[in-house]
């Protein structure tokens, strides 16, 4: 599915448009290149790419990692 949507992250979820992915269900996340991020939820893989406006995938990845390790 191709969708152009707003990306946001909070202490509880990663949101892409109307889709909400609870952080505790994200099993892995990684950066591929400069403007691509991949993550897995419940055995499904998702790929996020920047459209026309570049985004900093590293800040989403870093925030996810900090929350993941603070919960352990």
What are 35-52's pLDDT values in tens digits? 889 999 999 999 998 776
Average pLDDT over residues 63-71: 85
pLDDT interval class at 33 (50, 70, 90): confident
On the 0-12 / 13-18 / 19+ scale of CB atoms within 10 A, 38 is middle
Helix (DSSP H) and strand (DSSP E) numbers for the chain: 1, 6
Domain residue limits, the chain: 7-71
What average pLDDT is seen over the chain?
87
The answer to whether residue 29 scores a pLDDT higher than 90 is yes
The answer to whether residue 58 scores a pLDDT higher than 70 is yes
CA 27 to CA 10: how far, in whole Å? 16
The predicted pLDDT at position 55 comes to: 73
């Amino acid at each position: 599915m191709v969708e152009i949507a707003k990306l946001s992250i909070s202490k509880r979820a990663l949101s892409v448009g109307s889709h909400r992915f609870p952080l505790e269900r994200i099993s892995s996340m990684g950066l591929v290149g400069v403007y691509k991020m991949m993550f897995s939820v419940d055995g499904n893989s998702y790929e996020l790419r920047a459209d026309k406006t570049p985004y900093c995938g590293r800040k989403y990845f870093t925030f996810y990692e900090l929350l993941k390790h603070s919960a352990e």
